Amino acid sequence: MKGLDKLLSELELQQLQKQTRRHFLMDCVSKMGGLALFPLLNACQPDSGKHSLNLSERDLNPLASLAPPFIPKVKSVIYLHMAGAPSQLELFDYKPELVKYNNQPCPESMLEGRKFAFIRGVPNLLGPVAKFQQHGQSGAWVSDFLPHFSKIVDEVAFLKAVHTDQFNHGPAQLFMHTGSPRLGRPSLGSWVTYGLGTENQNLPGFVVLTSGGKTPDAGKSVWGSGFLPSVYQGVQCRSKGDPVLYLNDPEGINRSLKGKIINAINQVNKEEFAAVGDPEILARINQYEMAYRMQLDVPEIMNINDEPDYIHELYGTLPGEEAFANNCLLARKLVEKGVRFVQLYDWGWDSHGTEKDTALDLGFRNKCREIDRPMSALILDLKQRGLLEDTLVVWGGEFGRTPMQENREGKTMGFKGRDHHVDAFTMWMAGGGIKKGTSFGKTDDLGFSGIEGRVSVHDIHATILHLLGFDHEKFTYDFQGRPFRLTDVEGEIIKEILV
Amino acid sequence: MDFIFSLFGRFHPVLVHLPIGFLILGSILVFYAKKEGEEFLPAIRIAFFWGTIAALFSVASGIILYLREGYSFNTVSKHLILGLLTTLLSLGFYLYLKDKVKFIDSKVRGMSIGLVFILMLTGHFGGELTHGSEYFTEVIPDRFQGLLGISKSAEVSKISLDEQHWGEAIFYQDVIHPILSQNCNSCHNEKNRKGELVLSSPEMMEKGGKSGRVLDHRSPLESTLLARMLLPLEDKEHMPPKDKRQPSKQEVALIHKWLESGASFELSLAKAGVEKEMIHMYFPEEKDVFFPETALSQLSEDILMPFRKSGLLVAPISQESPLLKINAINFSANQKLKFKDFQAIASHIAYLDISGTDQDDTVWNDLMVFENLTVLKINRVNIEGKGIEALHQLKNLKRLYLNYSDLQLSNLLALADHPSLEGIFFYATPASKDINSDEIARFLARLEYGGYELPVLSSDTVVY
């Protein structure tokens, strides 16, 4: 048998040596020719030219509202992302055992085979910095860092054992919002606007609002459209000054003149379409018209000054400033006006304990105060308008934080802080289709790993798409020769938190 | 060297074709020959001689196969007896031809026909063993099957439990037995006893198979039944075999639970300590009945186009649904909306949002024909709700939105006993200011009128 193998490999070698570069090029020429022949032949078919002119509403208006494949529970999503990853151990995941082991060295068995962003050697465990209490009829544990939120816990469903596989901010944020830790995939909001369009044709379908002084570490890709047409990317609206830059008419040009200009351009475009028949031209005409309409509606809706005082008090807004509270109020206004997906990013949650601002008992607590009232107000405000029945609110960071105190470079830190942690963290959802006052998943006694009801980032995406009326396994976009999904080849709907 | 026998046994399906060929050839020659002729007689004798020899080999290999591969006698009896009969008759016929026959006559012809008939019958029952008894009938269309009087064999029972009374179901009979019949029975049934194991009845399960018992009552969790399932898929001993249907994780978990609870054939699910989560997949699937189920069919684009042209959003509530969602969100403020135009599609509309359009209290009467209306949003309109009791006609109405309207409490009270309404939203209306707890208690629906507050706390202003 050995001889035979040798003989076969010798034969293969000989055959390969005979195949020269010239053979290769010759093959290329003849076979490429064959490939080119295929569309040529296809073009001879009598009906081949027609379908390019069989225009759907989608061709003309890529944001036209579409029916979802299944009856949806919600029609809009408000996603509150705490960039930097807040500590679940100071907010929702109460671990009395951890109190006992405060300042004790972490058992080495827990560290075996683990990698942390900054922790080196054997760190000490850090007991919860906040005080916990059970709240509401559901008896959910919430810390005293969120006194307002603790009053509305019966509206939300907690996911206590979410896990991810990225322990750096950028990749983890990308994973959380695009389903992949690498660049190039469309964001959740893009998928949704691609699949459903948007109802209000005078406003963007996917709006992004940021607060906390910085935008997410992963950059604008977290609301990018990836390989989807760029019309589906998030529209970032600024909280201060003009919400969208260059939206106002330049000085000396009034609105009626602008209207005339657009009409004239569209007239030319229509003639061009009549001559050429390219549907792209119709799409362009439509987009000019949409931009013209948005010029009026966007500044109006992005203005929170018209809201009554008690609403401002409820949210604790800071008019004229860039604030999470303002963004929460805007999110409600946008959803009320039929915007499909509103994404809020609040930066500044990376509580390593390296300085005062990132200390769990100082800077972190200030961040908690900044979001506590607004996000609670958002839920109540949506509820009182009946918008919570068809809106989904999602809250979370890109990962969680370690039960151990951070020991950057092996040194003891001056402030209380925790390192990035991928194994277990808490997220919550509220709104249509969500089982109110539930908590799913459990972590171990130290809050290190999920031991029950672990859910992945893909599971969360699958659940969000499910509530919007999609089957996440069938919702695909063809790119680079294969269909792509938001959930790749994973994701299971978290039925336990659904009605 | 024992395997030689097994191997020989497995050659049975090949060997059987030799006697078939020889005996049929012989019979053809019998008819080929002229009556009273004798020219083919030597050839005929040769054919039946070798036919007999081949039949002997077939019988030998067949018996080995029967003894070694776990077939029960009941399964193979017809084939076995007929096979032996064929061999004997063939031998007898050959001896008769050799000694007694000088020329071909009708007696010889008759005997050869008889032999071929029994041969065919043997072959048929053999085929039934390898291909199953429904091999022929299953390709026949159902209506002919009915004519022929063939009833379909009972389908493998599907597990379904009642969400209320699941605890009383018998663990073995209602859950384990169906799981075993779906995953194991194709090889371990009364007919086909691979490894001499039958899993289709409690008695046979207790008996076990060639390698011993499969249920170990002293330490149930060590039972072979479970152990073989838990082996890695690649393992030769893994059951069901790698290329066969594999039980799901939940099914294995249930078998585990059943063994843990003592592998009893009488215990109920509740007594065995089964938790609801373990069996939730067997509950009837809950249907989403928020929107009514109708026999309507989807409307054509031609009918919907005029509504779209007027600026309304018109779309089915889901891609396949005949019911429509209509939204006036893109109307300019206070644009008039004429309900008369809606008559043709009224019964298709399940979700109607006419917030911000120019409406008055005549709207209630116009809405009476929207029989499938489930969600009605009329926010930001100047209506007081006079005549709102007309909504009692809408038997499917579940959510009513009247935020920022001029709704008066006295009018709203007319909806207190609306049977299908689940939620009434009237935030920022005169009614929301006037309503008191006694009146709220009269409503069947949840009332939402806002006024939520988050009281100022001392911690609100503390900066750390």
- Contact criterion met (CB below 8 Å) for A177 and A185: no
Q: Which is it for strands A156-163 and A425-431: parallel, antiparallel or unpaired?
A: antiparallel
In the numeric block, which tokens belong to residue A51?
A: 């379908």
Instruction: Enter the DSSP assignment of B175.
Output: I
Q: Find the CB nearest B318 among A71, A202, A389.
A: A71
| % of residues, chain B, pLDDT over 70 | 95
Among chain A residues, CA nearest to B452? A380
Can you tell me the distance from the alpha carbon of A210 to that of A235, in angstroms, rounded to the nearest whole number? 11
Selection from A460, A488, A498, A497 nearest residue A79 by Cα = A460
Check CB contact under 8 Å for B452 and A380: yes
- pLDDT digit string, tens, across residues A141-165: 999 999 999 999 999 999 999 999 9
- Contact criterion met (CB below 8 Å) for A293 and A202: yes
SS3 (DSSP) at A350: coil
Tell me how crowded residue B252 is: count the other CB atoms within 10 A of its CB.
16
Contacts of B459 in chain A (CB under 8 A): 144, 147, 369
> Which amino acid is located at B199 in the chain?
L
Phi-psi region of B286 (alpha: psi -120 to 50; beta: other; left: phi over 0): beta
> In this complex, is the C-beta atom of B426 within 8 Å of any C-beta atom belonging to chain A?
no
CA of B463 vs chain A CAs: smallest distance (Å): 6
Check CB contact under 8 Å for A68 and B318: yes
Check CB contact under 8 Å for A366 and B463: yes
| Residue B154 pLDDT class (50, 70, 90 cuts) | very low
The whole-number average pLDDT for the span A400-418 is: 90
Instruction: Enter the DSSP assignment of B371.
Output: T
Check CB contact under 8 Å for B318 and A70: yes
The whole-number average pLDDT for the span A193-222 is: 92
Among chain A residues, CA nearest to B305? A57
Name the more confident of A127 and B273.
A127
- What's residue A314's pLDDT? 95
The whole-number average pLDDT for the span B14-29 is: 92
Can you tell me the distance from the alpha carbon of A193 to that of A230, in angstroms, rounded to the nearest whole number? 11
Can you tell me the distance from the alpha carbon of A85 to that of A191, in angstroms, rounded to the nearest whole number? 24
- pLDDT digit string, tens, across residues A244-256: 777 777 888 888 8
Can you tell me the distance from the alpha carbon of B70 to that of B370, in angstroms, rounded to the nearest whole number? 68
The count of C-alpha atoms lying within 13 angstroms of the C-alpha of A106, restricted to the half-sphere facing its C-beta, is 25
Can you tell me the distance from the alpha carbon of B283 to that of B160, in angstroms, rounded to the nearest whole number? 6
Tell me how crowded residue B307 is: count the other CB atoms within 10 A of its CB.
18
- Contact criterion met (CB below 8 Å) for A488 and A180: yes
Check CB contact under 8 Å for A384 and B450: yes
Name the more confident of A487 and B164.
A487
Q: Find the CB nearest A69 among B288, B318, B449.
A: B318
Check CB contact under 8 Å for B457 and A362: no
Check CB contact under 8 Å for B452 and A389: no
CA A28 from chain center: how many Å? Answer: 44
DSSP B25-57: HHHHHHHHSPTT--TTHHHHHHHHHHHHHHHHH
Strands (E), B369-442: 375-377, 399-401, 423-425
Burial class (CB in 10 A: 0-12, 13-18, 19+), B296: middle
Among chain A residues, CA nearest to B404? A385
- pLDDT digit string, tens, across residues B284-296: 766 668 899 888 8
Contacts of B288 in chain A (CB under 8 A): 71
| Residue A41 pLDDT class (50, 70, 90 cuts) | low
Residues in chain A: 499
Can you tell me the distance from the alpha carbon of B424 to that of B377, in angstroms, rounded to the nearest whole number? 10
Check CB contact under 8 Å for B454 and A366: no
Among chain A residues, CA nearest to B462? A366
C-alpha pair distances (Å), A195 with each of A74, A231, A470, A472 = 14, 12, 9, 11
Check CB contact under 8 Å for B319 and A69: yes
- What's residue A38's pLDDT? 66
Check CB contact under 8 Å for B453 and A314: yes
CA of B328 vs chain A CAs: smallest distance (Å): 9
| Residue A463 pLDDT class (50, 70, 90 cuts) | very high
Domain A70-244+306-497 belongs to what architecture? Answer: 3-Layer(aba) Sandwich (3.40)
Please enumerate residues of A whose Cβ is less than 8 A from a Cβ of B: 65-72, 144, 147-148, 151, 199-202, 310, 314, 316, 337-338, 361-363, 365-366, 369, 373, 376-377, 380-381, 383-386, 389, 469
Check CB contact under 8 Å for B452 and A383: yes
- Contact criterion met (CB below 8 Å) for A335 and A72: no
- What's residue A51's pLDDT? 41
C-alpha pair distances (Å), A376 with each of A109, B403, B437, B448 = 40, 21, 25, 17
Can you tell me the distance from the alpha carbon of B405 to that of B382, in angstroms, rounded to the nearest whole number? 6
Partnered with residue B268 across adjacent β-strands are: B170
> In this complex, is the C-beta atom of B403 within 8 Å of any C-beta atom belonging to chain A?
yes
The whole-number average pLDDT for the span B59-81 is: 87
- What's residue A476's pLDDT? 94
Q: Find the CB nearest A338 among B329, B453, B454.
A: B329
- Contact criterion met (CB below 8 Å) for A235 and A262: no
Can you tell me the distance from the alpha carbon of B341 to that of A149, in angstroms, rounded to the nearest whole number? 47
The whole-number average pLDDT for the span A394-404 is: 96
Give me the torsion for CA of B418, B419, B423, B428, rounded to 10°.
10
For helices B17-32 and B73-99, the axis angle rounded to 10 degrees is 40
The whole-number average pLDDT for the span A184-197 is: 95
Check CB contact under 8 Å for A65 and B313: yes
To which residue do tokens 């922790």 refer?
A119
Q: Find the CB nearest A385 among B315, B327, B403.
A: B403
Name the more confident of A238 and B400.
B400
Q: Find the CB nearest B316 among A67, A202, A337.
A: A67
Can you tell me the distance from the alpha carbon of B41 to that of B47, in angstroms, rounded to the nearest whole number? 10
CA A238 from chain center: how many Å? Answer: 18
- Is the Cα torsion angle B44, B48, B49, B54 positive or negative in sign? positive
- What's residue B155's pLDDT? 46
Among chain A residues, CA nearest to B423? A386
| % of residues, chain A, pLDDT over 70 | 95
Check CB contact under 8 Å for A362 and B464: yes
The whole-number average pLDDT for the span B278-282 is: 81
Q: Find the CB nearest B454 among A365, A377, A385.
A: A377
Contacts of B463 in chain A (CB under 8 A): 366
Selection from B242, B237, B165, B173 nearest residue B201 by Cα = B173
Interface test with A, best of B452, B460, B461, B462 (most A CBs within 10 A): B452
| Residue A52 pLDDT class (50, 70, 90 cuts) | very low
Check CB contact under 8 Å for A338 and B450: no
Q: Where are the domains of chain A?
A: 70-244+306-497, 251-301
Can you tell me the distance from the alpha carbon of B191 to that of B125, in angstroms, rounded to the nearest whole number? 14
SS3 (DSSP) at B237: coil
CA of A12 vs chain B CAs: smallest distance (Å): 33
Can you tell me the distance from the alpha carbon of B98 to that of B96, in angstroms, rounded to the nearest whole number? 5
The whole-number average pLDDT for the span B316-336 is: 88
Interface test with B, best of A54, A57, A65, A360 (most B CBs within 10 A): A65
DSSP A165-224: S--SHHHHHHHHHHSSSSTTSPPHHHHHHHHH--S-TTS-SEEEEEESSS--TTGGGGG-
- What's residue B286's pLDDT? 63
Selection from B439, B402, B442 nearest residue B424 by Cα = B402
Check CB contact under 8 Å for A199 and B327: yes
CA A14-A18-A19 angle, 5° bins: 120
- What's residue A130's pLDDT? 94
CA of B59 vs chain A CAs: smallest distance (Å): 39
Check CB contact under 8 Å for A65 and B315: yes
SS3 (DSSP) at B89: helix
Selection from B413, B437, B434, B459 nearest residue A365 by Cα = B459
| Alpha-helical regions (H) of A225-308 | 255-276, 279-301
Check CB contact under 8 Å for A67 and B315: yes
CA A131 from chain center: how many Å? Answer: 31
> Which amino acid is located at A78 in the chain?
I
> In this complex, is the C-beta atom of B327 within 8 Å of any C-beta atom belonging to chain A?
yes
Can you tell me the distance from the alpha carbon of A353 to that of A356, in angstroms, rounded to the nearest whole number? 7
> In this complex, is the C-beta atom of B117 within 8 Å of any C-beta atom belonging to chain A?
no
The whole-number average pLDDT for the span B164-183 is: 86
- pLDDT digit string, tens, across residues A309-368: 999 999 999 988 889 999 999 999 999 999 999 999 999 999 999 999 999 999 999 999
- Contact criterion met (CB below 8 Å) for B369 and B347: yes
Instruction: Kindly state the greatest CA–CA separation across chain A.
Output: 91
Out of A179-188, A276-285, A374-383, which region has the weakest mean confidence (pLDDT)? A276-285
Among chain A residues, CA nearest to B461? A369
Long-range contacts of B383-388 (CB under 8 A, 24+ apart): B383/B359, B383/B407, B384/B408, B384/B411, B385/B361, B385/B411, B385/B412, B385/B414, B385/B431, B386/B361, B386/B411, B387/B361, B387/B362, B388/B361, B388/B364, B388/B412, B388/B414, B388/B415
CATH superfamily of B301-448: Ribonuclease Inhibitor (3.80.10.10)
Can you tell me the distance from the alpha carbon of B68 to that of A332, in angstroms, rounded to the nearest whole number? 75
Phi, psi values for residue A234, rounded to 5°? -70, 145
Interface test with B, best of A296, A317, A389 (most B CBs within 10 A): A389
- pLDDT digit string, tens, across residues B190-226: 777 788 888 888 888 888 888 888 888 888 888 888 8
Contacts of A199 in chain B (CB under 8 A): 313, 327, 329-330
Count interface pairs A-B at CB distance under 8 A.
85
